[in-house]
Amino acid sequence: MDLLNTLVDKGLRRELPTREEALAVLATSDDDLLDVVAAAGKVRRQWFGRRVKLNYLVNLKSGLCPEDCSYCSQRLGSKAEILKYTWLKPDEASQAAAAGVAGGAKRVCLVASGRGPTDRDVDRVSKTIEAIKEQNEGVEVCACLGLLSDGQAERLRSAGADAYNHNLNTSEGTYGDITTTHTYADRVETVHQAQAAGLSACSGLIAGMGESDADLVDVVFSLRELDPDSVPVNFLIPFEGTPLAKEWNLTPQRCLRILAMVRFVCPDVEVRLAGGREVHLRSMQPLALHLVNSIFLGDYLTSEGQAGQADLDMITDAGFEVEGAGTTTLPTHRARQGGGCGSHDGGCAPCGDAPGEAAAESPGGPAARTDLVAVRRRGAGTDLAPNA
């Protein structure tokens, strides 16, 4: 297929595809899907070989967020029956992080619900970062705390943070339909603040919120222009009790095409397969490893992921290898001097992840698979052992 040959050539040269080419990837047929995966896989291997970076989420503060992000189980007015707790103490967060590191995670992503941190919150997180670094030599730490005020990124950097996550989530044109309590420009500004402070920027998207192909291309092209080191791709898990509870409109094939498009547009950045992979990719998750070079290990913020050992087995069985702590994630031309890892969390996943009762099937779309999702009841904020 001429389209795929062109996209591979451009990806190997780090050249931006045209919008028409990106849209064409999303429009390919299921008959061509394996060809699309194989083509994007060539670009992935050029810059990252067969390495898979593992990341581990620690939810420092769960629920009770004043923002109204429609996708989020922690949003204002959410009726999702998630864990709700205030800030973990530094030693509690460090203990949770250690479980992920022991499971093979190279990066720990510290996430807290809320509009953005107060200066007191930054002090608290700084102590947590220091505790984690002291107990886990060589671990990377990414913070995901919401909108930043002046000077806060620099303080996190001084405390030892390597990266900061703040996702764009969707296109600028549709952002107001998803969130009204802050703007798309607010998110862009926070990413710029993180970059200016010398933090490795992580910013990604959520697919499956009812957006069009053009919206997906818009946000991925905006991410390319923003130039984060890491682009997490989340797939919406519709929570009962949130405005997007009925948006069950993704298929495994659709998810793979989205990941391939992101890889072609952002060929040499860490593309992370984030929230929702177990629900929407299901048995086709191993194919996604040919497109992404990073995943989250174990559970997410408010929902459970598949068993950590299952993730490790999947990586090995698919012919990939876990990236070691001594390996620099990004290719040499992207690595930042003095910037720690030069990569990313939360992308850290978005604030939300999983669910309750069965959501209605979208007209003409796939059946809702609420049986594949479970609200997190273990790990941070509980007395039960984490999944890592």
Respond yes or no: is residue 341 known to be catalytic.
no
Instruction: Please tell me whether residue 108 adopts helix, strand or coil conformation.
Output: strand
- 282 vs 43, 118, 135, 305, CA distance in Å? 24, 39, 35, 11
Respond yes or no: is residue 109 known to be catalytic.
yes
- Catalytically annotated residue among 44, 65, 144, 351: 65
Judge contact between 286 and 249, C-beta under 8 A: no
Respond yes or no: is residue 115 known to be catalytic.
no
For the residues of 277-324, what is the DSSP string, one character each? HHHHTGGGHHHHTTT-SEEE-S--SSB--S-HHHHHHHHHHTT-EEPP
Judge contact between 299 and 305, C-beta under 8 A: yes
Judge contact between 156 and 165, C-beta under 8 A: no
- Catalytically annotated residue among 75, 109, 266, 376: 109
Angstrom distance (rounded) from CA 195 to CA 308: 31
Respond yes or no: is residue 272 known to be catalytic.
yes
CA 167 to chain centre: 8
Respond yes or no: is residue 65 known to be catalytic.
yes
For the residues of 243-272, what is the DSSP string, one character each? TTTT-----HHHHHHHHHHHHHHSTTSEEE
Q: State which amino acid sits at residue 125.
A: V
- Catalytically annotated residue among 142, 144, 341, 351: 142
Judge contact between 148 and 117, C-beta under 8 A: yes
Q: State which amino acid sits at residue 87.
A: W
- 115 vs 174, 275, 303, 380, CA distance in Å? 20, 20, 21, 21
- 163 vs 72, 158, 342, 346, CA distance in Å? 23, 12, 8, 10
- Catalytically annotated residue among 44, 75, 202, 277: 202
Instruction: Please tell me whether residue 57 adopts helix, strand or coil conformation.
Output: strand
Respond yes or no: is residue 266 known to be catalytic.
no
- Catalytically annotated residue among 44, 187, 224, 272: 272
What residues are labeled active site?
65, 69, 72, 109, 142, 202, 272
